[in-house]
Amino acid sequence: MSTNTASEFDSYAEDYEQALEKGLRYSGEDSAYFARGRIEWLGRRLAGLDAPRERVLDFGCGTGSATPLLLEILGAERVIGTDVSRSLLRRARAEHGSDRSDFLPADEAPEAWADVAYCNGVFHHIAPEHRAAALSRVLAALRPRGLFALWENNPWNPGTRWVMRRIEFDRDAVTLTPPAARRMLSSVGFEVLSTDSLFYFPRPLRALRKLESRLTNLPLGAQYMVLARRAQ
């Protein structure tokens, strides 16, 4: 889903993680640390809303690496991952396919199916003029009152920009500020509920991470999550 084409992401199917870790290593953490942190935070937000999460859509799932966490942490009964890259989908099916998960082309997501849609770091790869169409697919996949957790890299964080320049498939990405992400969601009919900013402290400052839950209203973390709801 990208300013990078699907075929360009196909070329990363075998070494996607290596390319990602090359940039993230400067934070002192690997992608698994951030993935778990994102989904744990989403779980806290869903619990506060007493929201169902039996059926989860992972929009732009890549290699499907979030699937085990969505099943474990959110307690999802079933996860469907979608992506535009056929090669990434093949890897996802081979590594994470099960009777509780499946992986489909982006335009084949079932309609009005998901209680929750999860998306990490996808929309900065989608050309701005194509973002509304992608969001409309997410909206159509959600059940009425379903929730969408949009995670994006925060261009207001200098560390994020520095890391992205060191990840080959992120160098030319068109990032979204938190206000731009909220406007984008509202423009296609989502009701924006909250914006949380996370991942302030790299590993050398990990003693300060206990403060992060108090800093989520400051839009300066390395990533942010906009939680939005589909109307009836």
Write down the pLDDT at residue 12.
55
- HSE value, Cβ hemisphere, 13 Å, CA-based, for 66: 28
More confident residue, 155 or 165: 155
Model pLDDT, residue 232: 73
CB burial of 53-67 (b: ≥16 within 10 Å; e: otherwise) equals: bebbbbbbbbbbbbb
CA distance readout (Å), 180 to 1, 10, 79, 130, 156: 18, 28, 28, 15, 12
Return the pLDDT at 25.
Answer: 76
Which whole number is the average pLDDT over 78-97?
96
User: Does 107 score more than 50 pLDDT?
Assistant: yes
The predicted pLDDT at position 172 comes to 86
Q: Output b/e per residue, 136-175; b: 16+ Cβ within 10 A.
A: ebbbebbeeebbbbbbbbbbbbebbeebbeebbbbeebeb
Find the helix packing angle between 16-24 and 31-49, rounded to 10°: 90
In whole angstroms, give the CA distance from residue 156 to residue 61.
25
**Dist. CA 159–CA 221, nearest whole Å:** 9
Predicted pLDDT of residue 1:
40
Residue 2 has pLDDT above 60, yes or no: no
pLDDT(20) > 90: no
CA distance 35 to 65: 9
Distance CA 92, CA 13 (A): 10
User: Hey, what domains does the chain have and what are their CATH numbers?
Assistant: 6-230 (3.40.50.150)
d(CA 155, CA 153): 6
Reduced DSSP (H G I as helix, E B as strand, rest coil) percent helix, strand, coil of the chain, to 5: 45, 25, 30
Cβ-based neighbour number of residue 104 at 10 Å? 17
Distance (Å, rounded) from C-alpha 12 to C-alpha 21?
13
> What's the pTM value of the predicted model, to 2 decimals?
0.92
Residue 15: pLDDT band with limits 50, 70, 90: low
Q: Give the three-state DSSP class for 156.
A: coil
**Which tens digit of pLDDT belongs to each residue from 115-151?**
999 999 999 999 999 999 999 999 999 999 999 999 9
Read off the pLDDT of each residue in 195-204 and give the average, rounded to a whole number: 95
